[in-house]
C-alpha cells in the first residue's frame, strides 16, 4: 500500500463510500481471490525479462515495479511493489531486439509507473530509443499526473529532458484518470506543462464499480479530459484480476449500458474513445447489442487471422 499525500488529501473523509478512497485504500473484497494474475497473457508475450511483444507494431518495456500509488484495481498486482524478475534490466539486448524488429513502430515504457524512474534512467531510455529509425513515437505509461503531479510540475529537469527528445521523436504520455475529482488544479498544472512542450496525453480510464459507474460521473470525467486537452483514448472493462474482480468489475452488459448512457452527455471529441476489453488474444472492442447478442470486434490482435474480426456472443441475464 502506498498513497501520496496529495492523493490522500483528495479523499472526502465524511463520505463512507468515497470513490477516491476505494481506489487507494485496501478493500475487504480484495480477500476474494477469484480471477487471474495475468489476465492478458503477458508471460506468453515476453521475449526477455521486461520486454513484451504482443502486437506486431508495439513493444512494451517494464521499466520498474515501483509506483507512486498502488492502485487497488491494478492488473499487474502480481508484480508491482516487489522485487520482480519481470523488470527490464537489459538495455543493450532490448535495443538490439527493437532494432532487429522493424515492424515495431512504437515502444511503451511502463511498469509499474515509468515516471518512478530517475531522470537519468528516463533520459537513458530516450537517448537509445530516438536513434531507432523505424520508431514513430515513444510512450510513457504513468499515473504521476493523477496521483503525484508534482513529479512533473515540480521537476523542470524532467520537463526539459522530455522536451529535448520530443523534438527528435514524438513522446506520448499514457495515463489513467478514473474519476473527475482527480482532475485538480495541480493535475492541470502538470498537464499544461507537458502540452506546452508538444507532448500528447492519452487517457485509458477503467470502469470501476462504486467509483465511476454512473453515467453523469463518467461523462464528467470524459468531458473534463477533453476540456484540459487530454485525448480520451480508451475506456476499459475492468480485467478479472485476483483481488480486484470481486469488488470492481461490472458485467459486460452493465459496462456497455453505462457507456451508452454516458454518451448522451458527450460531444464528438469526448466520444473518440473505444470501449475495450483486454484478452489474451488482443484488445476487443465492445460494439453493441442486437437481439440479446453482444457484438465484438478485434481492435488489436496477437494473431493476424483475428485482424478486424467481428464476432457475436449470446449474453445471459447476468450480462456475462
Measure the CA–CA gap between 190 and 197, rounded to whole angstroms.
Answer: 11
> Of 34-42, 70-78, 127-135, 220-228, which part binds ligand SF4 (CB under 6 A)?
70-78
> Of 47-55, 74-82, 179-187, 224-232, which part binds ligand SF4 (CB under 6 A)?
74-82
Cα separations in angstroms, 120 against 123, 169, 219, 292: 5, 18, 38, 54
SS (H, E, C) 259-302: HHHHHHHCCCCHHHCEEEEEECCEEEEEEEEECCEEEEEEEEEC
Please give the residues from 137 up to 156 whose contact with ligand SF4 meets the rule CB under 6 A: 143
Residue 54 burial (10 A CB sphere; 0-12, 13-18, 19+): buried
Residues near ligand SF4 (CB under 6 A), total: 10
Choose which of 86, 113, 182, 213 interacts with ligand SF4 (CB under 6 A). 113
CB nearer to ligand SF4: pick between 25 and 303:
25
CB of 208 to ligand SF4, least distance (A): 11
Measure the CA–CA gap between 7 and 19, rounded to whole angstroms.
Answer: 12
CB of 177 to ligand SF4, least distance (A): 12
CB nearer to ligand SF4: pick between 55 and 115:
115
DSSP 5-31: HHHHTT--TT-TT-HHHHHHS--GGGG
C-alpha closest to that of 34 among 210, 245, 207: 245
CB nearer to ligand SF4: pick between 110 and 300:
110
Choose which of 10, 23, 61, 74 interacts with ligand SF4 (CB under 6 A). 74
Site string for ligand SF4, 30-69 (x = CB under 6 A): -------------------------------------x--
| Residue 76 interacts with ligand SF4 (CB under 6 A): yes or no | yes
CB nearer to ligand SF4: pick between 111 and 215:
111
Measure the CA–CA gap between 163 and 168, rounded to whole angstroms.
Answer: 9
Choose which of 23, 71, 219, 284 interacts with ligand SF4 (CB under 6 A). 71
C-alpha closest to that of 1 among 87, 72, 62, 85: 72
Residue positions counted in the chain:
320
Choose which of 50, 112, 180, 243 interacts with ligand SF4 (CB under 6 A). 112
Q: How far apart are the first and last CA of the chain?
A: 31
| Residue 117 interacts with ligand SF4 (CB under 6 A): yes or no | no
> Of 19-27, 40-48, 110-118, 160-168, which part binds ligand SF4 (CB under 6 A)?
110-118
Measure the CA–CA gap between 288 and 297, rounded to whole angstroms.
Answer: 10
Kindly list the residues in this chain that would bind ligand SF4 in the complex (CB under 6 A). Answer: 67, 70-71, 74, 76, 80, 111-113, 143
Amino acid at each position: 500500500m502506498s498513497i501520496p499525500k496529495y492523493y490522500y488529501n483528495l479523499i472526502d473523509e465524511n463520505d463512507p463510500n468515497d470513490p477516491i478512497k476505494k481506489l487507494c485504500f485496501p478493500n475487504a473484497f480484495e480477500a476474494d481471490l477469484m480471477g487471474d494474475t495475468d489476465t492478458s497473457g503477458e508471460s506468453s508475450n515476453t521475449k526477455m525479462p521486461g520486454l513484451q511483444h504482443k502486437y506486431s507494431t508495439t513493444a512494451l518495456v517494464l521499466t520498474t515495479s515501483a509506483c507512486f500509488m498502488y492502485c487497488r484495481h491494478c492488473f499487474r498486482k502480481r508484480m508491482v511493489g516487489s522485487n520482480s524478475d519481470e523488470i527490464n534490466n537489459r538495455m543493450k539486448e532490448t535495443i538490439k531486439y527493437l532494432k532487429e524488429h522493424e515492424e515495431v513502430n512504437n515502444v511503451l515504457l511502463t511498469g509499474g509507473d515509468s515516471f518512478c524512474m530517475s531522470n537519468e534512467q528516463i533520459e537513458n531510455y530516450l537517448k537509445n530509443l530516438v536513434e531507432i529509425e523505424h520508431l514513430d513515437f515513444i510512450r510513457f505509461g504513468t499515473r504521476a499526473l493523477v496521483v503525484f503531479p508534482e513529479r512533473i510540475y515540480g521537476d523542470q529537469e524532467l520537463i526539459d529532458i522530455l522536451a529535448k527528445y520530443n523534438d527528435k521523436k514524438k513522446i506520448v504520455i499514457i495515463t489513467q484518470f478514473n474519476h473527475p475529482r482527480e482532475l485538480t488544479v495541480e493535475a492541470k498544472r502538470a498537464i499544461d506543462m507537458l502540452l506546452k512542450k508538444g507532448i500528447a496525453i492519452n487517457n485509458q480510464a477503467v470502469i470501476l464499480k462504486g467509483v465511476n459507474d454512473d453515467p453523469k460521473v463518467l461523462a464528467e470525467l470524459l468531458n473534463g479530459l477533453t476540456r484540459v486537452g487530454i485525448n480520451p483514448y480508451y475506456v476499459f472493462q475492468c480485467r478479472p484480476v485476483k483481488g480486484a474482480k470481486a469488488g470492481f468489475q461490472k458485467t459486460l452488459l452493465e459496462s456497455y449500458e453505462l457507456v451508452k448512457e454516458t454518451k448522451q452527455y458527450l460531444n464528438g471529441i469526448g466520444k473518440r474513445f473505444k470501449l475495450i476489453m483486454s484478452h489474451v488474444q488482443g484488445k476487443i472492442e465492445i460494439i453493441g447489442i442486437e437481439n440479446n447478442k453482444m457484438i465484438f470486434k478485434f481492435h488489436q490482435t496477437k494473431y493476424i487471422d483475428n485482424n478486424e474480426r467481428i464476432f457475436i456472443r449470446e449474453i445471459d441475464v447476468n450480462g456475462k
